Amino acid sequence: MGLEGKLEFEVEIQSSADEFYNIWRNHMYHLPNASSDAVQSVQLHEGEWHSEDAVKLWTYTVEGKTLTVKERIEVDDANKVLIFNIIGGDLLEEFKTFKAIVKMIAKSDGRGSLAKWTLEYEKLHEGVADPTACKDLEIKLTKDTDAHIINNA
């Protein structure tokens, strides 16, 4: 088994691809409102909120543990793709590199959309487990964001 890995998964949601993408692209600081049990805060650490050079500090809970992570985002507005490059925090105690990618895809029937997630990582050593807890967190955040959008429409 190699140290590099990839987890891919999809989450079907009711909100539009544009609405979901907008929250994650432009209003990430609202995520604690949408999923307070999973994300306690998203704070601007460096730069400006909407710029790609901004560094954000997340405080979140996975498997009962409160953790932090620093990320720098890359955006592809035309294709509704966000790439969260992890540059600091607890994840890097087990992973040399970690990247979470989400692509929003509108469903052809116009009813809802699909969040296609990819977690790309390189473990520090063979003893590190695959990041299934991160996958579970992204699924929860996706569903909670969807419910937040629907309930506030």
Structural domains present in the chain: 4-28+74-151 (3.30.530.20)
**DSSP state, 93?**
G
pLDDT of residue 152: 87
Which of helix, strand or coil describes residue 109? Answer: coil
pLDDT of residue 109: 87
pLDDT of residue 48: 87
DSSP 20-40: HHHHHHH-GGGHHHH-TTTEE
Query: In whole angstroms, what is the distance from residue 29 CA to residue 40 CA?
Result: 10
Q: List beta partners, residue 122.
A: 4, 97
Sheet holding 81-89, edge to edge: 4-13, 113-123, 95-106, 81-89, 65-76, 55-62, 39-46
Please report, rounded to a whole number, the percentage of residues in the chain having pLDDT higher than 90: 87
Q: Is the pLDDT higher at 139 or at 2?
A: 139
pLDDT of residue 24: 94
- State the pTM of this model: 0.94
Average pLDDT, the chain: 94
Nearest to 56 by CA among 67, 48, 68, 45: 45
Rounded to a whole number, what is the distance in angstroms from the first to the last CA of the chain? 46
Q: How confident is the model at residue 1 (pLDDT cuts 50, 70, 90)?
A: low
Residue 134: CB atoms within 10 A of its CB come to 21
pLDDT of residue 44: 92
pLDDT of residue 51: 84
Query: In whole angstroms, what is the distance from residue 34 CA to residue 23 CA?
Result: 10
Asked if 122 contacts 97 with a C-beta cutoff of 8 angstroms, the reply is yes
